[in-house]
Amino acid sequence: MSSLYKSALQARISKLPHPDTVAPFNEEDEESEAADSIGMLPPGGGLGPPAMQPREPNPHFAPISAAGFFQEAAQVAVPSRALDVRIYHTPAPASDGTVMVCHHGAGYSGLSFACFAKEVAALSNGECGAMAFDARRHGKTTSTDGKDDDLSIGVLVEDFIELLKTVFPDPAQAPTLLLVGHSMGGSVVTQACPTLQEAKYRIAGVAVLDVVEGSAIDALPHMNSLLNARPDGFDSVEEAVEWHVSTNTIHNANSARVSIPAIFKHVEDGYPPYQWRTPLRSTAPYWLSWFQGLSNKFLAARTARILILAGTDRLDKELMIGQMQGKFQQVVVPGVGHMLHEDDPTRIAEIMVEFWKRNERVIVGVKKVGER
């Protein structure tokens, strides 16, 4: 059973600038980031302001600055896509090093990889960098032409490719890239891989986190039940973080305190005052495009491949055959939910650093893991 499908069932039950402008983090920037958030349905069902005063924010769920997790934050202008993209980056120490480039899932932001990025740096002894970013209509990424409604897979893939070409304009001088994608992001990085290789970028591998085409598509009819159980907003950022932890949407409170503030926006005189930056119901027209054909494209990628799942997810037929043929590495991580890279960032980083070490320095002509 897929994590998305299990989440839907649980919800029903619970309802009985340019790279040159890169600058270090500063607290003023993080305060503004913490102020951009949203929240939870009031007891009355969301038809109006609650009769009672909102409770005081719980300091145990107060936002944590991302400054300790990435070395840099920047807004990168991508004119070809009419986007001003927010990136979080810990560079590789050497020009010929490797950077794990991470694409978040729908509704989240690049900061969902914050704890993971810190663990990668520690476990690789600083030899492997990490970069995460906010996709269009997510986090601090903004449109420069006001036309960013389209979240179809083709648009997201082009955004990803053009961002990497902007950040690393010369493939010969660029670090080796290891593409990591969670859920929707797994489909994006998988489909972007061949184009990046054609452009002469070195790709060390593709990692897909907790998404299988068959089970993801099977879960789509249940998504409305999941979304119906979500609050429309919250009275404070702390309340938004607490909701994600108390509902086990994210098991790791420290990670939630870093990542969740970025997925909310503050609406002056709005009710609730903190609202989802990317309401998932608005993305429904694109759900099928995100996952359809993913298994075939993943198996066809001409690089090392790894699929990391939360619990014993069911592989679809194509992946089952591919696994029996040794075309990719599969790891099942117990005790985590759909946000596995936030729930247990240390374990996911261990898996990815081991995968990187095994595949990054492979001599040309020697087969990598997952290649026949």
Using omega within 30 degrees of 0 as the cis cutoff, is the peptide bond preceding 272 cis? yes
Distance of CA 42 to the CA centre of its chain: 28
Cα separation, 56 vs 53, in Å, equals 9
Catalytic residue of the set 7, 112, 183, 215: 183
Cβ atoms of 98 and 177 closer than 8 Å: yes
Q: Give, to the nearest 10 degrees, the angle between helix 114-123 and helix 345-359.
A: 50
State the CB neighbour count (10 A cutoff) for residue 283.
Answer: 18
Annotation says 338 is catalytic:
yes
Nearest to 115 by CA among 183, 68, 73: 68
- Assess whether 235 carries a catalytic annotation: no
Q: Going along 91-133, which residue ranges are E strands?
A: 98-103, 128-133
Supply the DSSP string of 142-187, one letter for each residue: EESSS------HHHHHHHHHHHHHHHS--TTTSPEEEEEEETHHHH
DSSP H/E element including 191 = helix 184-198
Give the C-alpha separation, 317 to 299, whole Å: 12
Tell me which of 134, 159, 210, 313 is the catalytic residue: 210
Tokens of 215: 């089970």
From the list 235, 338, 341, 343, the catalytic residue is 338
3-state secondary structure 32-61: HHHHCCCCCCCCCCCCCCCCCCCCCCCHHH
| Distance in angstroms (rounded) separating the CA atoms of residues 331 and 269 | 47
Amino acid at 180: V
Which residues make beta-bridge pairs with 77?
84
Is 246 among the catalytic positions? no
> What are the catalytic residues?
183, 210, 338
